[in-house]
Chains A and B, each alone.
Chain A
Amino acid sequence: MSGEHGHHGTPAPFVFCVATAIMFIGLVMATAGGENNEGDTGYWFVFILGIAGMITGFMMWVQDYWDQDSEEGEEIVGYHPFWASITTRKFGMWIFLLTEVMVFSTLLSAYMRYRAAIPDYSPDIDCGLYFEECWVPAADIIRSHLIFGVINTFALLLSSLTVVLALYAARNNNSKAATRYLIATFFLGTLFLVLKAYEWWEMKNGHFWGDHCSVTAGQDIGHHCVAPKYEHGFWLDTSLEGTTFYITTGTHGAHVFVGLLALGYLIAKANKEGYNEKYNDTIELFGLYWHYVDVVWVFVFPFFYLY
């Protein structure tokens, strides 16, 4: 069996990456209004072309690996112990995670830079009529509904556990349990995105604070009150606080969404008993990505939801 469906090269990752680049070029140029900023909408076609290419690359990838059931002979070939006992796919996944570390590091450090430079609001500081001179963090808006962030945190932590349990179930030749744990992971990830979408909606429309209280410059902001600059809602273009919050949590949410797409493939293959004690590396590799998403949330939650 392993000889019939062993690993072979595939152009799918290359196709997917080229299509992703085309998609981003189209998106950036279209939203910028074309080369002359005059609203050239032709780049939306480029964006759609990129999306189609990404879907094609993904389907090629799935088709190439659907029947794979062996990692035999896939260790990095080398004559020094430094390279021993690790497959090329695993090493490649770690390299990919390193690039992801840089993505979120830039977002978090930019946010920290703003927090360090702009004073938090205080009754002792002249924050301006609309509190525009002070930093009114998203955490103050969320605090009255912090339970959603806490639920999201536990959901991701629990989903990391279920992914590990799925891996060990596969290693013990228990396909049913592996499938169930993967489905549980999918449910928890979906719960995370649903709650996040709800939070976003409520914050954008100013529903996390009551209408009965507002503050003016020099007053303290108590619970359920809102700074004047957020009277019409808290969104991307409201202030720096909104921009940093939504870009960072949105990027993280996009990573969770991509993880759910990959989970769909894993669930389908696990359901057809595609993972067993001899072949379960794909679950481990996905687990690495999912745990990384969890690690990012470990930093995002305290810095955006608590402080």
Chain B
Amino acid sequence: MSDEQETGNEHDEHHDDHSFPAWVTLGHTDNPINGFMKVFAWLVFWTLLEVGAILSEFSFWITMGILFGIAAIKCWFIGSFFMHMTWDPPLVNRTAAVPVFFLIVLFLAIGLTQPGAVDDLRTICGF
């Protein structure tokens, strides 16, 4: 990108000022390495919670909620911090959000339905 192209976006991908939310690091940390270590600790915590929760035999829908919920939380941690989505330009987040619609359709309209159930998208959407 030439110097003449002023986009107005001053974000620098290689800027190492990667600050973590205080609740993630349980306090302020200036060192991004410590921040990533704490994110890893959170992932370990949620994994242990997941294994512990599944040993209690809940109903199908409660089990699905727990598994999806914890998986989504872990996915958020990995995406936001390890994949740098928190500090990347908005384009990255918008690009990553593209398949969300398809995920919703695949899981809610197909994955969690049964053969013989309504699978017509127009009917599902209420038209």
Binding site for B on A (CB under 8 A): 73, 75-87, 90-91, 94-95, 97-98, 101-102, 105-106, 108-113, 116-117, 146, 150, 153-154, 157-158, 160-161, 163-165, 168, 171, 284, 287-288, 291-292, 294-295, 298-299, 302-303, 306-307
Contact = CB atoms under 8 A, between A and B. Distances in A.
12 contacts: A84-B8, A85-B12, A87-B13, A105-B106, A108-B106, A113-B113, A116-B111, A154-B44, A160-B82, A298-B71, A302-B71, A306-B51
What does DSSP make chain A's interface, helix, strand, loop or mixed?
A: helix
Q: Name which of A80, A81, A102, A163 has the most chain B CB atoms within 10 A of its CB.
A: A81
Interface of B: 1, 5, 7-9, 11-14, 16, 32-33, 36-37, 39-40, 43-44, 47, 50-51, 54, 63, 67, 70-71, 74-75, 78-79, 82-84, 88-92, 95-96, 98-99, 102-103, 106-107, 110-115
Nearest to A75: B1
Contact of A157 (B1, B47, B115): B47
Contact of A86 (B37, B54, B89): B89
Contact of A98 (B9, B54, B98): B98
B82 A287 contact: yes
Contact of B111 (A75, A87, A112): A112
Contacts of B90: 82
Given A117-B114, A161-B40, A85 B13 contact: yes
B115 A291 contact: no
